Amino acid sequence: MKNPTIQDAKARLRITDLWTRYQLPGTPGKSCRSPWREDQKPSFSVSADGFLWHDFATGEGGDAIDFLARIAGLDRTTACRTFLEIAGGGILAPAKFTAPKPTAPTPRAKPSLPVLEIGTAADLEALAKLRGIGLEGLQWASERGVLRFTTSQRFGVRAWIVTDGQRMNAQARRLDGQGWAHLEGAKAWTLPGSWAAWPLAIREAADFPAIALCEGSPDFLAAHYFALWEQASHHAKRDAQCAPVAMLGASQRIHADALPLFAGKRVRIFCHADEAGQRSAHQWAEQLATVDVSADAFDFTGLVREDGKPAKDLNDCLHLNADGFGQTERILP
C-alpha cells in the first residue's frame, strides 16, 4: 500500500507486530510484563486487538504510535512518520530494541512550608474536638512527625498540617474548621510545591507489617486512633502493627516510585463511600497488585453513626452506633 493514512496504518501495524519486530522481551497480552522497565509482577497490558496498551504501575498508555514513540525514543510527530513508513513497507525497524538504563529520578525541590510547630496541648484538644478523634491518636501522629501546626502571616489563622518526614508533601486545614477564602471555601489546601501523588508517611511505615491507606487527612488521623484502640496493648504504648498512610486526594494515583515501598505489606484501603472514592479504591488496588501486596478495601455499606447518618469514611467510624461497632469488630488490618 502506498502512502497509507494513519487509520490504514493502524489497521495493518499493531502493537503486537511492533513488539515482535523490535524483539522486545516477553510476550504481549492482557496481562504481561512491561517491555522497558523492571516489572516484578505483570502490570502491563496490550488489548486483544493489539490497538492499545496500558501500564498500570505508571498510568501510561496509548495506541500503537505512542508505543513506537516509547520504544524508539521518538517524539509524537516523528513517531507518526516512522509508523507510516513501517506500515507501508518503506523502512525496516532496528534488529533489536535495547531498553535504556534506568536513571535516577530528577531531584525535586521541596515545597516552601511555613514554620511548623509541634502542637500544644490546647492545639491537640481543639483538633480532637473538631474532628471527633481521640486525643491519644493525635498525640501519636504528633510523635511520628506527621501532624504539625502553624500560625503565620501567610495563613492568617491557626492551622493544622499533615506532612511527612521528608517534607515533600503537606496539606493544611484551618483549626477553626472553616474553608480557605483563596480556595473558594475548600477546606483542604495542598501546599504549593507538594508532591501530591506521593503517599504521605509511606517511608515511616517501613517497619510495620500492615498499612491503612487512607483518603485524606482526617481519615489519616483517625487511623492513628484506630491503630492504638484496636492493636496497642495500651494507648500510651505505641505497639500497634498497622501504620496509617494517606493519599491526599481521590484523584491522585500512587506515585510509581512509591509502589515498591508497599511490597510485602498487608494493605487495607479506606476510600470515601462515594463515586470518586470507589474509583480511587479500584485504581489503587490495581496499582498495588503490581507489587507483592495483599490488599483489600474497607466497605462502609450499612454502617450508621450515632446520629443516624450513614458512615461515609474512616473518621465517621469513630462515631458508629452500637450495631455498627458490632458489625465491624475490627476495622484496620
The predicted pLDDT at position 133 comes to 95
Which pLDDT score, from 0 to 100, does residue 313 have?
95
Between helix 76-87 and helix 64-72 the angle, nearest 10°, is 110
User: What are the domain boundaries of the chain?
Assistant: 6-87, 121-328
Check residue 230 and report its DSSP letter.
H
- Three cell numbers at 206? 517501613
Average pLDDT over residues 290-297: 89
pLDDT higher than threshold 90 for residue 44 = no
Distance CA 162, CA 126 (A): 16
Cα-flanking dihedrals φ and ψ of residue 150, to 5°? -160, 150
User: Does 95 or 191 have the greater pLDDT score?
Assistant: 191
CA distance 98 to 96: 6
Please state whether beta strands 210-215 and 242-247 pair in parallel, antiparallel, or not at all (unpaired): parallel
What's the burial of 117, exposed, middle or buried (CB within 10 Å: 0-12/13-18/19+)?
Answer: middle
pLDDT of residue 285 exceeding 90, the answer is yes
pLDDT at position 244, please? 97
Phi, psi of 62 (to 5 degrees): 160, -160
**C-alpha cell of 160?**
493544622
144: left (phi over 0), alpha (psi -120 to 50) or beta: alpha
- Average pLDDT of the chain to the nearest whole number: 86
CB 29 within 8 A of CB 52: no
Report the share of the chain in percent with pLDDT over 90.
48
d(CA 26, CA 44): 11
* Confidence class for position 102, pLDDT limits 50, 70, 90: very low
220-249, pLDDT tens digit by residue? 999 999 999 888 776 566 788 999 999 998
Question: What topology does CATH give the domain 6-87?
Answer: DNA Primase; Chain A (3.90.580)
| pLDDT tens per residue, range 109-120 | 667 788 899 999
Check residue 95 and give its pLDDT.
42
Which one is predicted more confidently, 142 or 168?
A: 142
Strand ranges in 40-158 using DSSP code E only, listed in sequence order: 44-46, 52-55, 61-63, 147-150
**107/133 Cα distance (integer angstroms):** 36
What is the per-residue pLDDT for 108? 59
C-alpha cell at position 255: 506515585
| Residue 239 CB-half CA count within 13 A | 5
Q: In 3-state terms, what secondary structure has residue 77?
A: helix
pLDDT of residue 236: 60
| C-alpha distance across the termini of the chain, in Å | 59
CB atoms within 10 A of CB 16: 20
pLDDT cut 70: percent of the chain above it = 90
